[in-house]
Amino acid sequence: MVRAPRLTGDADGPPPDTVRRRVVVHGRVQGVGFRASCARRADVAGLGGWVRNTGDGSVEAVFEGPPAAVEGLVAWCGQGPPMAQVRAVEVRSEEPVGDHGFTVR
């Protein structure tokens, strides 16, 4: 099987101690600064990934990096910024792809 080259990350892939989590945050999470706050925290933590609003009113994000930093941001998503009212957070583990830098989509 031939695999397509990765468009993000290093040619050698992510470091072995890297984890990746995808979260979907439900509740009053759009229009309250959730994405901007999330991106600032991810940048400070040195994480790769992205965050975006979804059509159903939730926020979806992917965090990739050292386990403690990723889990810290996943935990923060359970509360979010001051104006957010988080009702539920879905978390899924994914294979790291070597993302560097964090973007708001």
Residues forming the active site = 35, 53
- Rg over alpha carbons for the chain, rounded to the nearest Å, is 14
H or E segment to which residue 76 belongs: helix 67-77
- Look up residue 16 and give its two tokens: 């072995």
**CA angle 28–33–36, rounded 5-degree value:** 135
Report helix, strand or coil for 19. strand
